[in-house]
Amino acid sequence: MSTKPTDVGAVDSPAPSSKQAALTDAEVQKIRSEFPCLQLHRHGKRLVYLDNAATTQKPRAVIEALSRYYEGQNANVHRGVHYLSALATELYESARKRIKEFLGAHLVCEIIFTRGATEGINLVAQTFGRQHVGPGDEILVSEMEHHSNIVPWQMLCEEKGANLRVIPINDRGELLMDQYEAMLTDRTRLVSIVHVSNALGTINPVRQIIQIAHGRGIPVLVDGAQSAPHMAINVAELGCDFFVCSGHKMMGPTGIGVLYGRAELLESMPPWHGGGDMILSVTFEKTIYNGIPQKFEAGTPHIEGVIGLGEAINYLQNLGMPRIQAYEAQLLDHGTRVLEAIDGLKIIGTAREKAGVLSFIMDHAHPHDIGQLLDEEGIAIRAGHHCAQPVMQRFQIPATARASLAFYNTREELDLLGEAILKVKKVFG
Ligand code: PMP
C-alpha cells in the first residue's frame, strides 16, 4: 500500500502531566542511589544507562522482594492448604489488585499475567483473533509498530486468509489520522496500535483512535510496552478493549507482563494454553474451564515475577506517574537540544507529542559504530532496527542509534552523551 502520505499527522491532546510538578533533581539523585546497576562503572567511568526502551534497571526494592520471596515465601499458588501457599497466593493476588489500580481497570479479573507484551498480543491473536477473523477480514496496524504487533497478526491473517492493513505515518513519525479513518471498513475486525513508538518516541492519540474505531463497533488493542512505564494509564477512561505491557520495561523483573482485557470480551474468548489452574473440572469426556483471569493462566505462573512487578508498580506509584512524565519531558527537551546542536546528526522521529526516545543517525558513522564508541565512553545506547524494520524502511535507513530515557537519567548524562557523540564525529570525520 502507498506510504506517501499528505502531512496531516496526529497530535494527542496535551499531556495531563504538563500541569504536574516534575521530579526534582534532588529527588532524582536519591532515586539513582536506589538502583544498584546505576552505580556500575565502565572503562573507569560511571555507567550512563540510556537503553531504557530495551529494558529498565531495577530498584533495590524490587530485587529485595524477589529474594524475600525465595527466602521466606516460596510455595505454589492457588492450590495448597498450607501456610506458605496461602501466603504466596495472597502476595500474587494482591499484586494483581495493585496492577488493576495502576492501569485503571474496572475489575481485578481483567488483569491477566503473561510473559510480556509480546505474549499478550499473541494471546489476543490466537483467541479473540481466531474467533472473530475470517477470510477477507482486515486487521489494522500502523507503520510504526514493533514486530511483536505485526507478526502475530500476519500469522493469523495467513491462517485465516485475512488481510493486514497498515496506517501510514508522516516524516515526523506521526500517524495520518485521515488515512486511518478512511481505512476502517466493514471488514475491519480489530485495530492494534502502539501507544508510544519504541523506535521514534511518537505518542499516538490512542483516545481518538479508540473513539473512531468504536464509532464503527471495532475493538482496539493498545500496545503499551513503552507508555505504561512513562505516563499514567487509565484503560477504563481510554476505553481500549485490550492493553498490553511488559514488567521489565517498568522497573520490574523480566518474563512477566500484563494483558488487560475488558471482562466481557475475555469471558467470551476461548482459552489459549490448556493445563492446570485454567480448569474447573476435567474428565476425559469434558473439561470445564475456569473463569477469568485463571482461564488464561494455565500452569504454575511466574510467581516471583508477579510479586516483583507489584513491587515495581508500588515504586512507580510512590514517585507518581504524572511527576515522572513531567520530568522525562524536561529530559527529552534537553536531550533534543543537545543532539540538535551537533552538525551532521539527524534525529529520526520528531513528532509533536513525543516520549523519551532519541533515535538518530549521523553522517559517515554507522549506528553500530556509534553504539560501540559510546560504550567505550561508558554510555549504553542501542543501535539497530529496534524490532521495527518497517520504520527503518519508511525512513529509508538501515538502522538508528537510540538513546532512551527513564526518570533516573539526568541532564548531565545527556550532556555526556553529546560530548561523546562529538568524539565519535572526530573519529568518522
Ligand atoms: N511493543 C513495543 C512498542 C516494544 O518496545 C516492545 C519491546 N521492545 C514490545 C512491544 C515487546 O515487548 P517484550 O519483548 O517485553 O514482549
Domains of the chain by residue range: 25-49+320-428, 62-318
Among 262, 309, 268, residue whose Cα is nearest residue 111: 262
- Of 123, 192, 198, the one to substitute when testing ligand 1's pocket (max ligand atoms within 8 A of C-beta) is 198
- For the domain spanning 62-318, the CATH number is 3.40.640.10
- Determine if ligand 1 sits within 6 Å of the CB of residue 304: no
What's the pLDDT tens digit per position in 293-330?
999 999 999 999 999 999 999 999 999 999 999 999 99
- Determine if ligand 1 sits within 6 Å of the CB of residue 391: no
Other CB atoms within 10 Å distance of the CB of residue 383: 18
Pick the residue with more confidence: 96 or 20? 96
What's the pLDDT tens digit per position in 175-208?
999 999 999 999 999 999 999 999 999 999 999 9
- Determine if ligand 1 sits within 6 Å of the CB of residue 202: no
For residues 65 and 88, give the distance between their C-alpha atoms in angstroms, rounded to a whole number. Answer: 12
H or E segment and range at residue 193 = strand 188-194
For the chain, the 3-state helix, strand and coil shares in percent, each to the nearest 5, are 45, 20, 40
25 three-class SS = helix
CA of 270 from ligand 1 middle (Å) equals 25
Which of these CATH numbers, 3.30.70.100, 1.20.910.10, 3.90.1150.10, 3.30.70.260, describes 25-49+320-428? 3.90.1150.10
CA of 159 from ligand 1 middle (Å) equals 24
Q: Which pLDDT score, from 0 to 100, does residue 199 have?
A: 98
- Determine if ligand 1 sits within 6 Å of the CB of residue 56: no
- Whether 25-49+320-428 and 62-318 share one fold: the answer is no
- Which atom of ligand 1 is nearest to 254's Cα? 15
DSSP 249: G
- Determine if ligand 1 sits within 6 Å of the CB of residue 124: no
Q: Is 387 a catalytic residue?
A: yes
Nearest CA to ligand 1 atom 12: 117
Average pLDDT, stretch 13-27? 74
Q: Which pLDDT score, from 0 to 100, does residue 2 have?
A: 36
Q: Which pLDDT score, from 0 to 100, does residue 20 have?
A: 77
For residues 31 and 28, give the distance between their C-alpha atoms in angstroms, rounded to a whole number. Answer: 5
The cell numbers describing 53, all together, are 526502551
CA of 146 from ligand 1 middle (Å) equals 7
For the chain, what is the mean pLDDT?
95
Q: Tell me how far CA of residue 173 lies from CA of 38, 52, 180, 199, in angstroms.
A: 31, 20, 14, 10
Nearest CA to ligand 1 atom 8: 54
Q: Which pLDDT score, from 0 to 100, does residue 125 have?
A: 98
Q: What confidence tier does 11 reach under pLDDT thresholds 50, 70, 90? A: low
The cell numbers describing 295, all together, are 482461564
pTM exceeds 0.85 for this model: yes
- Determine if ligand 1 sits within 6 Å of the CB of residue 204: no
- Which atom of ligand 1 is nearest to 197's Cα? 3
CA of 427 from ligand 1 middle (Å) equals 33
- Determine if ligand 1 sits within 6 Å of the CB of residue 17: no
Among residues 157, 240, 245, 387, which one is catalytic? 387
- Determine if ligand 1 sits within 6 Å of the CB of residue 198: yes
- Determine if ligand 1 sits within 6 Å of the CB of residue 137: no
Nearest CA to ligand 1 atom 4: 225
27 contact partners, CB below 8 Å, separation of at least 6: 319
What's the pLDDT tens digit per position in 319-360?
999 999 999 999 999 999 999 999 999 999 999 999 999 999
> Exposed e or buried b for every residue in 157-196, given b needs 16+ CB within 10 A?
beebebbbbbbbbbebbbbbbebbeebbeeebbbbbbbbb
